[in-house]
């Protein structure tokens, strides 16, 4: 197994490995170490059944919960991320976000496997939230210490959200409801349970405020932090090909599905792994 860094700051391709084969404990430990170092791992040219995808995922933790979206009947922990070529509605996964950050225990990691992808377009972009925190001034770091972000799914899955109403033309069965308006508090700066490093923990889609502040007070602070956290030198981008599996640390990166492949079909399978309460 060899690593090929994608940028100078994070993300790497993992070379010379076949994930369809049972992995030894030593190899799993090597992948875990690479994951802690690089946060985003890209495995190319993999031919995986859903069972093999699940087996690989479970090497790194237990399944997380998938709300609001119907998963596969035969594999209830696998989400089929599908967009047919004639679809024109909102793209699932667009907007900078951390998966399900509105949950009490947001996912630790997400795995996404490409089956059919456009000839070009449909990349996934990532941004490094360790670096976003580390490049803040000491004064700003002190200011953020102890503050909590307010996270909610209402912008996406609430009654008036992007996916709040069922779209019969969508290939994915998404059902928003009143549960999406619930709010969850998480620290604006969290500590990674494995590395011990601090990172920002906010995102455009699910962070809707700062606890204890009026919107007029919190909005400019969040806007600064969000703009700061996606500077080009903090980002990486993955171009998909059939058989590509991408695994990212949901605790320390945000990601963004790029909507630039109209007229082409895209089919992928996603698994999330259970996380912990951010601290």
Q: For 47-84, what is each residue's pLDDT tens digit? A: 999 999 999 999 999 999 999 999 999 999 999 999 99
Half-sphere exposure of 136 (CA within 13 A, CB side): 25
Reduced to 3 states (helix: H, G, I; strand: E, B; else coil), residue 139 is helix
Whether the per-residue pLDDT at 166 is higher than 90: the answer is: no
Six token digits for residue 276: 């912990």
The band of 245, judged by pLDDT with boundaries at 50, 70 and 90, is very high
**Cα–Cα distance between 277 and 105 in angstroms, integer?**
5
The band of 167, judged by pLDDT with boundaries at 50, 70 and 90, is confident
Q: pLDDT above 90 covers what percent of the chain?
A: 95
- Number of Cβ within 10 Å of residue 85's Cβ equals 11
Question: Where along the chain do its domains lie?
Answer: 2-273
| Predicted structure pTM score | 0.96
Q: Kindly provide the residue ranges of all beta strands, DSSP E only, lying in 153-197, ordered along the sequence.
A: 183-187, 189-191
Output the pLDDT for position 1.
87
**Fold for the domain defined by 2-273:** Double-stranded beta-helix (3.60.130)
| Nearest residue to 102 (alpha-carbon basis) of 56, 67, 138 | 67
Six token digits for residue 106: 């947001």
Whether the per-residue pLDDT at 192 is higher than 90: the answer is: yes
**Cα–Cα distance between 22 and 222 in angstroms, integer?**
44
- The answer to whether 180 and 68 have CB atoms below 8 angstroms apart is yes
Six token digits for residue 100: 């399900």
Six token digits for residue 152: 């909610």
Average pLDDT, the chain: 97
- The residues facing 4 across adjacent strands are 13
- Number of Cβ within 10 Å of residue 115's Cβ equals 17
């Amino acid at each position: 197994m060899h690593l090929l860094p994608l940028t100078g700051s994070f993300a790497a391709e993992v070379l010379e490995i076949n994930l369809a084969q049972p992995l030894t404990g030593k190899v799993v430990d090597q992948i875990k170490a690479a994951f802690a170092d690089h946060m985003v791992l890209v495995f190319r040219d993999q031919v995986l059944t859903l069972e093999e995808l699940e087996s690989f995922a479970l090497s790194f933790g237990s399944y997380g919960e998938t709300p609001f979206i119907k998963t596969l009947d035969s594999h209830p922990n696998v989400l089929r991320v599908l967009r047919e070529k004639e679809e024109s509605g909102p793209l699932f996964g667009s907007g900078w976000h951390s998966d399900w950050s509105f949950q009490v225990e947001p996912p630790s990691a997400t795995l996404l496997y490409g089956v059919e992808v456009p000839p070009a377009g449909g990349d996934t972009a990532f941004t490094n939230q360790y670096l976003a925190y580390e490049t803040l001034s000491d004064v700003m770091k002190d200011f953020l210490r102890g503050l909590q972000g307010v996270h909610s799914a209402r912008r996406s899955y609430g009654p008036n959200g992007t996916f709040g109403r069922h779209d019969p033309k969508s290939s994915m069965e998404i059902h928003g409801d009143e549960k999406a308006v619930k709010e969850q508090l998480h620290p604006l700066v969290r500590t990674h349970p494995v590395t011990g490093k601090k990172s920002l923990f906010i995102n455009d889609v699910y962070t809707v405020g700062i606890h204890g502040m009026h919107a007029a007070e919190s909005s400019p602070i969040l806007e600064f932090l969000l703009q700061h956290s996606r500077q080009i030198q903090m980002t990486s981008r993955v171009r998909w090909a059939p058989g590509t599996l991408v695994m990212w640390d949901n605790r320390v990166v945000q990601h963004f599905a790029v909507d630039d492949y109209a007229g082409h079909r895209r089919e992928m399978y996603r698994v999330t792994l259970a996380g912990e309460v951010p601290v």
